Amino acid sequence: MSKGEKLPVDQIRAGRLGGERDEGLLRYLSSMDADRWIADADVLVDIAHMVMLHRQGIVDTKSAQAILRILLQFHDKGVPEDAFSPVYEDIHAGIEAVLMKKIGADAGGRMHTARSRNDEVATCLRIRLREEILGELQNLVVLRETLLGTAAVHLHTVMPGFTHLQHAQPTTLAHHLLGYEQAFSRDFARLRDAYCRVNASPLGAAAFASTGFGISRSTTADLLGFDAVLENSMDAVATRDYAIETLAAQVNCMVNASRFCEELILWSSPLVRFVQLDDRYCSSSSIMPQKKNPDIAELLRGKSGTITGALMSAIGIMKALPQSYNRDMQELSPHLWKGCGIVSESLPLLSGMIGTAVFYTERMREEAGRGYSTATELADVLVRDYDLPFRQAHTIVGRAVQKGTIDLATLEGAARETGGISLVKKGLTDTAIQDALDPVQSVAVRAAFGGPSPAIAGESLENARQRLAEDRTTVARRIASLTQAWEQLLQEARGILA
């Protein structure tokens, strides 16, 4: 808004309030920036509401036609820019005002019959959030496909597994990637469950007390593709629990992604050299010419901090708010969109990074045997083949490591020292020790359900593929259902015009 421009009249204030308001104040009040997310959804809500008002005989055909003609234009060509003028507190007021300018106050003034901005914005938020969640579910499907595809070629790629960032036991890259796939499959499930609670219609709740007009809430819910009506009209406008739930599910997902990125950053350090990320996901330095930095992975890790703050903001805003609507709630929506944007931008980049990464499998195998990482298998062999109690075997091998080497002599010394027994007498040989310490062998025997042995990991991969196929179907079904609802809505609206 350029300075000095004459502001259009605000219809909603017109009757009740006076007072000149300056730009700073209007900017503070305005939700227009965040409302760009919901402007298209608002037009659909307006259309559905008008179709219902017309069906119920609350608005006459002529007025309905005039209103729907404009709304369908807005739908086809986009909401006109003047509806976003900062003079309107929000896009709902903006659309109503622009529409009234086009068709006059008599017809246009009937659009807001039997509703309030409170139920209107609550409906828009849910419609838009549905789309976002479906997009994120699709992103998760792609990410999981990428993980499974990469795992499939690395079932035999032995690498060190870590606890406390110390070499722990050998595993495979496939096993490592399958672990992340499981985590992201739970993120999928959480967002899928959140979707069910998002996908209920608050429309018809009006300000919070519903309305004395003979509306049909189930009609608008059907027209807008909702699974159900959010029954109690006060709760319908007052709750934002679905926003907190969705943000929390997104945070969980970004925390998982941040852990993967932490590893990609570490693995691509010259200190480790397990992976080379594709140049496109890296940046150089303005001063150090040799640098190839994993910037995308770092930014994603940083954004997991950002989205955590968004969740905290949302919770802080809602805490201890009395019923029903309070203006504080306007301040919540941007955090929701922020969270959605972060997830929908980050997941494809993570998929891309993994899909294009070059893994240095030789380096991985080389490290797999370092740091005494097969000591556990040796202890297990002492249990299985020489009948030692596990705790005793653990202590003997631990003492050998403390002395700095694992061979028959050191183990025998450790056994005598810590337990007063002789392993040599029990038949332990150097060959048996060397076999136990071989990383490939150590991985091969880890064949419990869900373990890293290539055969078992192959089965896990197959199980994961089946679950993924089901999840892919779930998303596709949800999307088809919404598409169908939109087609029917527009068809009915156009039918009134005809």
181 binds a second copy (CB under 8 A): yes
Q: Closest Cα partner for 358 from 153, 195, 135?
A: 153
Contact 265, 294 (CB under 8 A): yes
455 binds a second copy (CB under 8 A): no
CA dihedral over 153, 158, 160, 163, signed as positive or negative: positive
> Three-state SS for 272?
coil
**Residue 10: CB minimum distance to a second copy, A:** 9
* 335 assigned to active site: no
Host H or E run for residue 158: strand 158-163
Residues between 388 and 417 with contacts to a second copy, criterion CB under 8 A: 388-402, 414
469 binds a second copy (CB under 8 A): no
CA dihedral over 425, 430, 431, 437, signed as positive or negative: positive
Catalytic member of 164, 286, 335, 344: 164
Of residues 282 and 432, the one with the C-beta less far from a second copy:
282
Residues between 63 and 102 with contacts to a second copy, criterion CB under 8 A: 89, 92-93, 96, 100
161 binds a second copy (CB under 8 A): yes
> In whole angstroms, what is the distance from residue 35 CA to residue 41 CA?
10
276 binds a second copy (CB under 8 A): no
Residues between 331 and 390 with contacts to a second copy, criterion CB under 8 A: 331-332, 335, 345-346, 348-349, 367, 370-373, 375-380, 383-384, 388-390
> In whole angstroms, what is the distance from residue 50 CA to residue 233 CA?
20
> In whole angstroms, what is the distance from residue 307 CA to residue 417 CA?
54
Q: Which amino acid is at 139?
A: N
Per CB under 8 A, the list member of 106, 407, 430, 462 interacting with a second copy is 106
> In whole angstroms, what is the distance from residue 287 CA to residue 33 CA?
37
299 binds a second copy (CB under 8 A): yes
Catalytic member of 269, 285, 422, 481: 285
Please return the burial class of 442, using the count of CB atoms within 10 Å of its CB with bins 0-12, 13-18 and 19+.
Answer: buried
By CB under 8 A, how many residues form the interface with a second copy?
Answer: 206
Per CB under 8 A, the list member of 23, 61, 228, 269 interacting with a second copy is 269
Q: Which amino acid is at 97?
A: A
* 85 assigned to active site: no
DSSP track, 464-478: HHHHHHHHHHHHHHH
Residues between 184 and 243 with contacts to a second copy, criterion CB under 8 A: 186-187, 189-190, 193, 197, 204-215, 217-218, 229-236, 238-239, 241-242
> Three-state SS for 162?
strand
**Residue 357: CB minimum distance to a second copy, A:** 13
> Three-state SS for 453?
coil
Which span sits near a second copy by CB under 8 A: 142-150, 426-434, 443-451, 486-494? 443-451
Per CB under 8 A, the list member of 318, 357, 364, 496 interacting with a second copy is 318
Nearest 5°: phi and psi at 294?
Answer: -80, 60
With vertex at residue 257, the alpha carbon angle to CA 149 and CA 314, rounded to the nearest 5 degrees, is 140
Per CB under 8 A, the list member of 131, 450, 472, 476 interacting with a second copy is 450
Residues between 3 and 42 with contacts to a second copy, criterion CB under 8 A: 11-21, 24-25, 27-29
329 binds a second copy (CB under 8 A): yes
**Residue 406: CB minimum distance to a second copy, A:** 8
Residues belonging to the active site: 164, 285
